[in-house]
């Protein structure tokens, strides 16, 4: 089985409504609406296992205009979601590892990926660490569910 990342085009957008998330994951990513309402400067990547969509990632190319801790050469990773039927198998980690290669190949002007992760979301935090993200030991305190760690992955 091969995991791949693809940009979502309009004919693929309906797959987002078919992804099933557990309640906790919905809270941390802001629900599926957060992925359906794409703003200027954002890109949704579909995570596919062979030809089956199993999740999505949201990138923000204007992250530094919203968050003072990010620099202009960083892409923001707004969220990662994997359908609950496929969780616990390492697909989230593999997708994040592929994201690094994807950004390096297609967005050469960017030197890092930046994100925040809620202090209580320990599973995601450990996954980001395994993928090579570094906790910069500073918090972002504007999260809806409380303080978040700021993490960075150099490309």
Instruction: Indicate the pLDDT class of residue 143, thresholds 50, 70 and 90.
Output: confident
Looking at per-residue confidence, does 94 or 27 come out higher?
Answer: 94
Single pTM value for the model: 0.90
3-114: CATH superfamily: Gcn5-related N-acetyltransferase (GNAT) (3.40.630.30)
Domain ranges for the chain = 3-114
Using the Cα atoms of residue 59, residue 150, residue 69 and residue 94 in order, give the sign of their dihedral. Answer: negative
Task: With CA atoms as reference, report the closest residue to 38 among 46, 49, 50, 47.
Answer: 46
Number of CB atoms found within 10 A of residue 65's CB: 12
Q: Is the pLDDT of residue 145 over 80?
A: yes
């Amino acid at each position: 089985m091969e995991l791949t990342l693809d940009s979502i085009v309009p004919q693929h957008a309906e797959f987002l409504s078919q992804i099933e998330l557990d309640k906790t994951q919905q809270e941390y990513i802001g629900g599926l609406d957060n992925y359906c309402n794409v703003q200027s400067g954002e890109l949704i990547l579909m995570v596919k296992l062979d030809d089956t969509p199993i999740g999505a990632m949201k990138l923000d190319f204007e992250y530094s205009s919203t968050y003072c801790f990010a620099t202009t050469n960083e892409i923001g990773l707004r969220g990662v979601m994997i359908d609950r039927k496929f969780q616990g198998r390492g697909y989230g980690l593999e997708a994040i590892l592929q994201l690094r290669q994807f950004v390096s190949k297609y967005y050469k002007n960017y030197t890092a990926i930046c994100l925040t992760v809620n202090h209580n979301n320990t599973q995601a935090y450990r996954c980001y660490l395994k993928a090579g993200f570094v906790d910069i030991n500073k918090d972002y305190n504007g999260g809806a569910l409380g303080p978040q760690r700021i993490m960075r992955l150099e490309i």
